[in-house]
């Protein structure tokens, strides 16, 4: 069974926030709520239940300034130069993704790659107006814990590789490429 120390939770939250450019103190509501969401997802996963991304998002984003915690976005957004699915398609895409999760791993699939693919698909759907990365990284880890895999912290110094892998998934997956994906090879070349 997977357990996290307080220091491990703090490190995960600080790194996850840093990936998003959030550098708030430990007592800031966003940080406090993020830690609550980690503890919730970990507890649920250890009970053999898949955590719900809507609940994770609601816990993270509960604040006076964010008006739609735990609700799918109702406007279109872009991530860099990539467009995301329109709001009217989010519900169906999320249901399909949850069905993929509930259908489980096929015998020929590598569990690590399968979990990464679920995470990348979630990030391509980008179901919320804000908090997608933080929600997605907690949800991915809850799935890992469900399958008795260790919690994974993605460090700020790894963020470009992390985003590049999402871009490659978006580019190679016709379901998300159709919305307007930028070739990740072009992005890598321009960064050199």
Question: What is the three-class DSSP state of 78?
Answer: strand
How many structural domains is the chain composed of?
Answer: 1
- 10 Å Cβ neighbour count for 166? 23
CATH number at residue 101: 1.10.3290.10
Q: What is the pLDDT of residues 117-161, one digit of tens each?
A: 999 999 999 999 999 999 999 999 999 999 999 999 999 999 999
Residue 116: inside a domain: yes
d(CA 12, CA 18): 10
The reply to whether 178 falls in a domain is yes
> For position 188, what pLDDT does the model report?
46
Instruction: Tell whether 11 is covered by a domain.
Output: yes
Find the Cα–Cα–Cα–Cα dihedral 167, 171, 177, 179, rounded to 10°.
30
Range of the domain at 133: 6-191
pLDDT band at 190 (very low <50, low <70, confident <90, very high): very low
Instruction: Give mean pLDDT, residues 81-103.
Output: 94
Is 138 contained in some domain?
yes
Interval 51-58 mean pLDDT = 97
Q: Looking at the domain assignment, is residue 1 inside a domain?
A: no
Long-range contacts of 48-53 (CB under 8 A, 24+ apart): 48/146, 49/146, 50/101, 50/102, 50/142, 50/143, 50/146, 51/138, 51/139, 51/142, 53/94, 53/122, 53/127, 53/135, 53/136, 53/139
Q: Decide if pLDDT at 192 tops 50.
A: no
* pLDDT at residue 165 tops 90: yes
């Amino acid at each position: 069974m997977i357990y996290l120390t307080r220091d491990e939770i703090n490190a995960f939250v600080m790194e996850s926030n840093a990936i998003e450019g959030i550098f708030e103190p430990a007592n800031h509501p966003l940080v406090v709520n993020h830690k609550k969401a980690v503890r919730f997802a970990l507890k649920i996963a250890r009970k053999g239940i898949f955590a719900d991304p809507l609940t994770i998002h609601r816990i993270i984003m509960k604040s006076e300034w964010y008006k739609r915690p735990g609700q799918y976005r109702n406007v279109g957004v872009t991530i860099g130069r990539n467009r995301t699915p329109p709001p009217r398609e989010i519900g169906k895409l999320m249901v399909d993704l949850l069905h993929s999760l509930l259908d489980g791993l096929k015998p020929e699939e590598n569990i690590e790659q399968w979990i990464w693919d679920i995470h990348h698909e979630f990030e391509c759907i980008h179901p919320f107006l804000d908090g997608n990365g933080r929600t997605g990284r907690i949800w991915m880890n809850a799935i890992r814990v469900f399958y008795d895999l260790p919690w994974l912290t993605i460090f700020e110094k790894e963020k470009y590789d992390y985003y590049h892998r999402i871009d490659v998934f978006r580019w190679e997956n016709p379901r998300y490429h159709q919305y307007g994906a930028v070739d990740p090879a072009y992005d890598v070349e321009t960064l050199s």
